[in-house]
Structure 1
């Protein structure tokens, strides 16, 4: 029996795409595999490079694991290639047997309250992309507010709050670029207020993230006694869940701290449901209005009808990420995902009114399941998708031009300045050298042109 060869395209070179590639290469199968990984950015790693605050050294561990996979050399990378413009679904059908979309979620989920579009209201993801030197975002960020609200109780909300409240001198050991350091240095911020609609035992952030907040130099951590009047459900959560127990312990330690000496304050407000962002005559953010909630006895909350208002000049919504549609690929606009059954992409058939499998097309990561879960979920998610891909062998595409050279020829013919693994190593070394000159681990390049020039050795 002749062994079949699977030519696979993976769109998205973040953890989801890299793990899926690695899992397929290590899986039991009776065919050969050749994988090409495409990304619209010149550098790999997706949200690990562009979605996490620069003062998170533990992310380096994840990057090391991803780097080890790529450095084996059995996965080709094509960076700076945009799906939908530089290459299309029809192109992939011509050169591959199947494609996995692992494009994640990069834009902010909406928060539908009056005033959310006022001047001074921002999405957390956009701010993160700015401070992480994403090449497709502006170089400057408006940091003019003294009092700021951050809406959300997940790790992104804490990242954003920490970056807003932290003194820029304490970030200079990290890889933040000069334009970001300059922007943060000029910020007049004195108070950052973080709001969550539920209580302290229902937060979505991890103990590690919370602890890091309490270690900020010259920043007082302020929590409010009224938020710690627990009901039975909250007490049961503390007793029955180690993570909740640790979070509760950290917050209660902060309640005992003496405050009033620091130049900046970071406030955590619980039981606060967003009602409205209030604007001034110029259409700028001037206050945040919220309803006080209380426990409903079932682990949820209900409104109390008590409305409060806090003066602020900027507000960041950190209520989750959201996927973006891809050309020629089905998309569920409600959930921000590609419709799928365990990673097999589904297309709506108007004739039958049913969803049927779109052969050859798969999804993994956040674009498959929505923006929830950490790196561990991404691995199990990829395993599910890969097992279907392997079992669907009879339904793969039959490409006209499946050779590895044909893809390179196509990109060259179109004049696309793509980057490869050697190019990433050149960029990596260049950024590390920039950092070494200032006693820092790395300084990221911000300009796409410059990233591509360095990668291509031009």
Structure 2
């Protein structure tokens, strides 16, 4: 075939960009259109990383290098499955790769989860990261707050709640987020994990950085430092897990430093109910657990009611279906065999459709896992192409899809448009001595991205 392989990658977060990079590094000539529902690229790197973690946002620099390549074109502000259908896209591409990630909250299936003051962690992350899909106001009147979940998202939520608005004003947070954070009344933040330190899903650096804030006192009960044989094995087998346990041990034995905000990390406390009065959260009820010898836990029948005015459920993200693409609602993933989209779990391959990232395997793992996902998927796609298994698109010319989008009246954004939006956010931040100030409103983002259109 004399023309390049034409691929649409749907979702411009790390998963989609890594998949695009691998395609461009292959021996196969390619043209890639990277579709993004938001006006701006980078997915959870822009809208899922806490604003006081610029180190992690440095990943954007690496993603920029991929996005600058000539074979790759960004088409933002387009909801695939809604603004354009899957069948419409198939006219222009040999293959479609879905990398739409996960932004919703998994359910915490206990009574009281629907009370006022019970929040999904993803909702709060969307608020403080200025995601235009999420609300602009937040009630931070509770003086005692619970966070359920001992992963990095739970840690981020707890840290943001324990910091002051002034500490966070130096970051890229929008004005509305700063104004809300200034009103934060939280003096105690309690993080709850069902199992022990050896099962916590923190990364060591995130855990250590909790103590860097002068306003936060990290408190761990020495009685919560407990290991069974499987827990000890987990420490021996993973340097990362051993570092997490060591840091928690240090928190448990050190003298108080006298910071005004207390951040308690509780282990062996399994949430069983969120208690309310007049429809509002007043406490979290937990059952004390104990290790079972295999790294799991069993209940002890000992219950505690923790008086709190808000509960944040940080028990995992959940992906949403893409209209026109098979979806497993129980696992909240696109059914797949490691790369090919399937009609159902263990079903038949849907020709020309592939998936990678969290929508493929669920919202677990770090950047390294995302790269491994992309490698597996792209190897399958390229093998199918080499074997002649991909259908020829009806309109394979690069400009055909642009004509189609413009005929539909879609105000799509581009990579040049991202540079315009980026420059405006940096200009706004520079006026206040900050690196950038994020623009929140969707229409404003589109306006700045398309000012030269």
Instruction: Name 2:130's counterpart in structure 1.
Output: 133
TM-score (norm 1): 0.96
Q: Which runs of 5+ in 2 are unaligned?
A: none
Counterpart of 1:293 in 2: which secondary structure?
strand
1:41 and 2:35 are equivalent in the alignment: no
Decide whether the 8 Å contact of 1:109 with 1:322 is kept in 2.
yes
Decide whether the 8 Å contact of 1:347 with 1:357 is kept in 2.
yes
Distance 1:359 1:102 in 2: 17
Query: 1:5 Cα shift?
Result: 2.8
Instruction: Name 1:293's counterpart in structure 2.
Output: 289
Decide whether the 8 Å contact of 1:289 with 1:308 is kept in 2.
yes
1:366 and 2:358 are equivalent in the alignment: yes
Query: 1:60 Cα shift?
Result: 2.8
Query: 1:235 Cα shift?
Result: 3.5
Counterpart of 2:217 in 1: which secondary structure?
strand
What are the equivalent positions in structure 2 for 1:73-112 lying under 5 Å apart? 73-112=70-109
Distance 2:216 2:351 in 1: 54
Query: 1:74 Cα shift?
Result: 2.2
Identify the match of residue 311 of structure 2 among 296, 312, 315.
Answer: 315
What are the equivalent positions in structure 2 for 1:8-157 lying under 5 Å apart? 8-29=7-28, 32-157=29-154
Distance 1:227 1:242 in 2: 21
1:212 and 2:245 are equivalent in the alignment: no
Decide whether the 8 Å contact of 1:93 with 1:397 is kept in 2.
no
Distance 1:172 1:219 in 2: 17
Identify the match of residue 256 of structure 1 among 253, 256, 268.
Answer: 253
Note the alpha carbon deviations across 1:95-136, whole angstroms, 9 max, x for none: 111100000111011110000110000000111011111111
Note the alpha carbon deviations across 1:373-413, whole angstroms, 9 max, x for none: 11111111101101110111222122211222121111111
What are the equivalent positions in structure 2 for 1:167-186 lying under 5 Å apart? 167-186=164-183
1:279 and 2:291 are equivalent in the alignment: no
Query: 1:151 Cα shift?
Result: 0.4
Note the alpha carbon deviations across 1:166-219, whole angstroms, 9 max, x for none: 112111221011111110110111110000000011101100010011112122
Equivalent pairs, count: 450
Note the alpha carbon deviations across 1:345-370, whole angstroms, 9 max, x for none: 01149xxxx61100000000000111
TM-score (norm 2): 0.97
Counterpart of 2:399 in 1: which secondary structure?
helix
Instruction: Name 2:348's counterpart in structure 1.
Output: 356
Distance 1:236 1:84 in 2: 46
Identify the match of residue 372 of structure 2 among 380, 383, 397.
Answer: 380
Decide whether the 8 Å contact of 2:328 with 2:335 is kept in 1.
yes
Note the alpha carbon deviations across 1:245-296, whole angstroms, 9 max, x for none: 222221222223333733211000000111000011x100010001100010
